Every structure is written in structure tokens, then in C-alpha cells.
């Protein structure tokens, strides 16, 4: 504008051309330098904005102060904005890493699926459950889980209704898995495209314990019901048909006494077992001298052995064998149960031996009850310590057995951090070796 005014004045002859052109030149120079200042400032702003957009943060080395103070202020504002953007980006990365770590460490299996149900992610518990190592999620049991009708239906419903769907299913396999859990729809989808999340709990172990408890109660009542029914039957007979038959009465009373004795034994063993189980998690704090303890138990059994014509041979060392920490009463019961079994199965002889023994690096003492009976077939050996497990049900019951003796032995040895080793083969007799810590 001033240039136009000056030009006009010169053209109209109102201004001397010399002074007029000088003023014109000065005006132009001032305008250009002002424009240059601004342009430089705007270019700096432009560069700063670009860095902010690329999340590079403000310039590391401070620039020389801009020539225009207004530009300086805008630059500073931009730098602050860039820094806060950068912090926020770092926070997002950190939060995501924390989320991943938490999901990975969850004790329960968690699986993330895309909208097309392709598995995207499985946490550690899920990989362990489905035996997945490394990549390749769409394999084996996981694929079977996703195909399972219950799971497929839950995924359908979840996608259609967008509400969490409970699932409860038994996944067949080498071992059947009882799984329960939930299917969730992610709205909006996860960063990796995850649309569906399956959260599971493996209830197999809990179910097995539940089943065992139910089995136990069923077994215990069944075992008690049989002798009880027989006693009740004989009472009926004694009241009715055998009322005037002293010989039959004598015989029936004998059987009734036997059956009552069996019930007493069973109740004793059940109570013994539950006592042992209760103390199982509390280690013993006393000690027991094994040779004296075994001699005493053998002496107490001697009459029973004599009655059946079985020899009980003791081969115990002179030096004392101390079990420690130990519960002498419980170790006595272990010896009693083993000597009782041996007596029941032996043909002519039972040997009782004891010696100091190591188990790995642990010092301890051991004793063995060995009989010359029929022996035990290999497939039964691992199961002998189960409650109510008897190799020959019919014969065992006839002999008044409860099938609880070895279960009690096992629990006592667990409490002692000890070990029971059964060595037997059909036709070769049986050896039951007990090891407990000591010196």
C-alpha cells in the first residue's frame, strides 16, 4: 500500500523523483525483510508440527531463539503438546504390556478368537491345558474344543446376542476334561482383532475329588450294609423258624458274632483312616525306636500266627534304629497292618527285617514284611493303597477284610514323609518295605 501511494505521488509530480524512489526502495526493503522473518518462523513451526505428528518429540537441541516473540510462544506450546502426546503413547504401550502379562499369568485358561473363530491368542494356562507349544493354535484339543457342539452353540449365541454365554462341557481325550467357563464378545474388538474371549476353568481335578468322596461314602455304607443285612436276617430266623432249634440257634449266633465283629473292624478302620487323614498335614514331632517297636508288635501277633500255624521269623539288628521325626503309635499300626496282611496270605512263613537305609540323600530306617503267599499280580500293585481295594473281593470279604489297611499305611507314611514299596509277583510271595526318615 505505501509503495502504491509513493508511486502515485511520484507520477503526479507531488514528490521529487530522487526522494520518492529512495522512499519507495526503503519501503520495499522493509516489506521484504518482514516477510522473510515471518516465513522463517512459519517454516520452523511447520517442522515442529511434522515432528509432533510423527511422534518424534520436540527438537533435542534447542534452536536459536526465534526472531519474532509470537513464533517463540507458539513453538513452546507445540513442544508441550508433543511431549504430552509422547507420554500418552508410552503409557498406552505400558498398559498393553501389563494387560498381556496379567492375561498370560492368569491361572485359568483364556483364549482369544477372531470374528471367524480362528484362535488368535491363548495364555499360558490354556497352552498347558491343550498341550500347545509355540505357534499353531488351531490344533489338537483346542480345535476339538472349538468344534464341540456346546462351545459352538455358545459362540453362536454370544455373537448373535452380544451377552456373555456360560459353557459347561466334558472334552473327551486321553483324559476327559471337565471344563466350565464363559464366552464373551469384545465390543469394540481388541487391538489384535480379537472378537471373542473364552475363559475356562478346568474342573477335572475337583470333579475327581468329588467323585472319590461320593465313591467313599457309597463304598463305606455298602460295606456296612452287607453284614448288617445278614445279622438282621438271622434275627428274623431266630425269632421264627429257628425258635425251637437250639443247634441252629448256636450256629446262627456264631455267624452273627462274626458279622458284628466285621462291622466293628470296619468302623474302627474308618475312624482310624479319618484320624490319620486329619493329622496328615501336621508332621509328627516325636521319635520311635524301630527294633523295640517291631518286637512288641510281633509279640502281640504271635498268638494269631501260632493259631494258623505260620512261623514269624524276626531278623532285627542289635543296634537301635531310630525313626525321627515319627509317631510311634502310628508306626506300630503300620507294622500291625502289614503283619496282619502277611499272616492272612502266607503259606508257612513270614519274615520281618529292619535296617538303616537311605532314600536318595535322606538318612532313614526301613523295615520289610515278607511272606511266602500267592503274591500279587502286577496290575493290582499300584492300586492296593486305595480305600476298599481288594484283589480278590470274594475271598477278602470272607476273611473279614476291610480293604482299608494299606490305605491307612499309605496315609501314615505320607505324614511321615516316608515311602512304601511293594515287591510282589504271582507265585513269588510279597514284600512290603517301609522307609521313614531317621538315623
Ligand X SMILES: Nc1ncnc2c1ncn2[C@@H]1O[C@H](COP(=O)(O)OP(=O)(O)O)[C@@H](O)[C@H]1O
**Shortest distance, position 406 Cβ to Mg ion, whole Å:** 6
Q: How far apart are CA 235 and CA 224, in angstroms?
A: 17
402 contact, one of ligand X, Mg ion, none, CB 5-8 Å limit per kind: ligand X
CB 342 within 8 A of CB 423: no
CB 385 within 8 A of CB 419: no
165 contact, one of Mg ion, ligand X, none, CB 5-8 Å limit per kind: none
| Helix locations, 54-68, DSSP H | none
CA 127 centroid distance within chain: 13
- Closer residue to Mg ion, CB minimum distance, 21 or 389: 389
Binding mask 337-356 for Mg ion (x = CB under 5 A): ----x---------------
CA 241 centroid distance within chain: 61
**Shortest distance, position 425 Cβ to ligand X, whole Å:** 11
**Shortest distance, position 332 Cβ to ligand X, whole Å:** 16
391 contact, one of ligand X, Mg ion, none, CB 5-8 Å limit per kind: ligand X
Closest CA to 345 of 376, 302, 316: 376
- Cβ-proximal residue to Mg ion, closest one: 405
Residues that bind ligand X (CB under 6 A): 337, 341-342, 345, 371, 373, 376, 384, 389-392, 396, 401-407, 430
**Shortest distance, position 387 Cβ to ligand X, whole Å:** 8
CB 337 within 8 A of CB 301: no
CB 370 within 8 A of CB 329: no
Residues 6+ apart with CB under 8 A from 50: none
Burial string for 185-220 (b: 16+ CB within 10 Å, else e) reads beeeeeeeebbbbbbbebbbeeeeeeeeeeeeeeeb
- Closer residue to ligand X, CB minimum distance, 88 or 383: 383
The stretch near Mg ion (CB under 5 A) out of 153-161, 262-270, 278-286, 333-341 is: 333-341
**Shortest distance, position 333 Cβ to ligand X, whole Å:** 12
Q: How many residues bind Mg ion (CB under 5 A)?
A: 2
User: How far is it between the farthest Cα atoms of the chain?
Assistant: 165
- Cβ-proximal residue to ligand X, closest one: 405
- Does position 405 interact with Mg ion (CB under 5 A)? The reply is yes
Q: How far apart are CA 152 and CA 113, in angstroms?
A: 12
Of residues 29-48, those binding Mg ion (CB under 5 A): none
- Does position 227 interact with Mg ion (CB under 5 A)? The reply is no
**Shortest distance, position 341 Cβ to ligand X, whole Å:** 3
181 contact, one of Mg ion, ligand X, none, CB 5-8 Å limit per kind: none
- Closer residue to ligand X, CB minimum distance, 406 or 412: 406
Q: How far apart are CA 428 and CA 431, in angstroms?
A: 10
Q: What is the CA radius of gyration of the chain?
A: 45
The stretch near Mg ion (CB under 5 A) out of 101-109, 179-187, 288-296, 398-406 is: 398-406
- Closer residue to Mg ion, CB minimum distance, 82 or 333: 333
Report residue 434: phi and psi, to 5°: -110, 130
- Closer residue to ligand X, CB minimum distance, 291 or 401: 401
**Shortest distance, position 401 Cβ to ligand X, whole Å:** 3
**Shortest distance, position 342 Cβ to ligand X, whole Å:** 5
430 contact, one of ligand X, Mg ion, none, CB 5-8 Å limit per kind: ligand X
- Closer residue to ligand X, CB minimum distance, 121 or 411: 411
Q: How far apart are CA 70 and CA 33, in angstroms?
A: 17
Collapsed DSSP state (helix, strand, coil) of residue 240: coil
**Shortest distance, position 402 Cβ to Mg ion, whole Å:** 7
- Closer residue to ligand X, CB minimum distance, 324 or 387: 387
**Shortest distance, position 254 Cβ to ligand X, whole Å:** 22
**Shortest distance, position 223 Cβ to ligand X, whole Å:** 10
CB 437 within 8 A of CB 362: yes
Closest CA to 101 of 113, 114, 110, 90: 110
403 contact, one of Mg ion, ligand X, none, CB 5-8 Å limit per kind: ligand X
Residues 6+ apart with CB under 8 A from 69: none
Beta bridge partners of 432: 369, 422
CA 268 centroid distance within chain: 35
270 contact, one of ligand X, Mg ion, none, CB 5-8 Å limit per kind: none
The stretch near Mg ion (CB under 5 A) out of 113-121, 164-172, 324-332, 403-411 is: 403-411
- Closer residue to Mg ion, CB minimum distance, 272 or 405: 405
Q: How far apart are CA 99 and CA 15, in angstroms?
A: 79
Q: Contact residues for Mg ion (CB under 5 A)?
A: 341, 405
Amino acid at each position: 500500500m505505501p509503495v502504491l501511494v509513493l508511486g502515485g505521488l511520484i507520477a503526479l509530480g507531488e514528490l521529487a523523483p530522487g526522494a520518492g524512489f529512495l522512499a519507495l526502495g526503503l519501503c520495499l526493503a522493509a516489506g521484504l525483510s518482514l516477510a522473510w522473518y515471518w516465513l522463517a518462523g512459519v517454516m520452523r513451526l511447520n517442522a515442529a508440527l511434522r515432528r509432533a505428528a510423527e511422534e518424534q518429540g520436540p527438537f533435542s537441541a534447542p534452536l536459536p531463539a526465534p526472531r519474532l516473540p509470537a513464533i517463540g510462544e507458539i513453538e513452546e506450546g507445540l513442544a508441550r503438546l508433543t511431549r504430552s502426546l509422547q507420554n500418552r503413547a508410552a503409557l498406552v504401550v505400558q498398559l498393553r504390556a501389563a494387560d498381556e502379562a496379567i492375561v498370560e499369568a492368569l491361572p485359568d485358561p483364556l483364549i482369544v478368537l477372531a470374528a471367524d473363530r480362528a484362535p488368535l491368542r491363548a495364555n499360558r494356562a490354556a497352552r498347558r491345558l491343550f498341550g500347545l507349544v509355540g505357534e499353531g493354535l488351531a490344533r489338537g484339543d483346542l480345535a476339538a474344543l472349538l468344534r464341540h457342539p456346546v462351545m459352538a452353540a455358545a459362540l453362536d449365541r454370544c455373537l448373535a446376542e452380544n451377552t456373555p454365554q456360560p459353557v459347561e462341557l466334558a472334552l473327551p481325550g486321553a483324559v476327559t476334561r471337565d471344563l466350565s467357563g464363559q464366552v464373551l464378545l469384545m465390543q469394540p474388538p481388541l487391538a489384535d482383532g480379537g472378537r471373542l474371549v473364552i475363559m475356562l476353568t478346568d474342573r477335572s481335578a475337583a470333579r475327581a475329588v468329588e467323585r472319590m468322596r461320593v465313591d467313599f461314602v457309597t463304598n463305606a455304607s455298602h460295606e456296612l450294609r452287607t453284614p448288617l443285612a445278614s445279622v438282621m436276617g438271622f434275627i428274623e430266623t431266630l425269632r421264627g423258624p429257628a425258635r425251637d432249634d437250639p443247634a441252629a440257634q448256636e450256629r446262627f449266633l456264631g455267624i452273627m458274632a462274626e458279622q458284628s465283629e466285621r462291622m466293628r473292624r470296619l468302623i474302627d478302620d474308618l475312624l482310624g483312616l479319618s484320624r490319620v487323614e486329619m493329622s496328615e498335614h501336621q508332621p509328627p514331632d516325636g521319635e520311635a525306636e524301630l527294633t523295640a517297636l517291631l518286637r512288641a508288635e510281633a509279640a502281640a501277633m504271635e498268638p494269631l500266627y501260632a493259631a494258623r500255624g505260620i512261623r514269624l521269623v524276626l531278623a532285627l539288628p542289635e543296634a537301635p534304629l531310630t525313626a525321627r521325626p515319627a509317631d510311634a503309635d502310628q508306626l506300630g499300626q503300620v507294622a500291625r497292618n502289614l503283619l496282619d496282611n502277611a499272616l492272612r496270605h502266607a503259606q508257612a512263613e513270614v519274615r520281618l527285617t529292619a535296617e538303616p537305609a537311605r532314600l536318595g540323600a535322606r538318612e532313614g530306617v526301613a523295615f520289610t514284611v515278607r511272606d511266602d503267599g500267592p503274591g500279587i499280580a502286577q496290575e493290582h500293585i499300584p492300586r492296593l493303597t486305595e480305600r476298599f481295594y481288594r484283589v480278590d473281593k470274594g475271598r477278602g470279604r470272607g476273611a473279614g477284610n476291610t480293604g482299608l489297611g494299606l490305605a491307612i499305611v499309605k496315609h501314615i507314611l505320607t505324614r511321615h514323609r516316608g515311602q512304601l514299596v511293594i515287591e510282589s509277583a504271582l507265585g513269588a510271595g510279597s514284600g512290603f518295605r517301609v522307609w521313614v526318615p531317621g538315623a
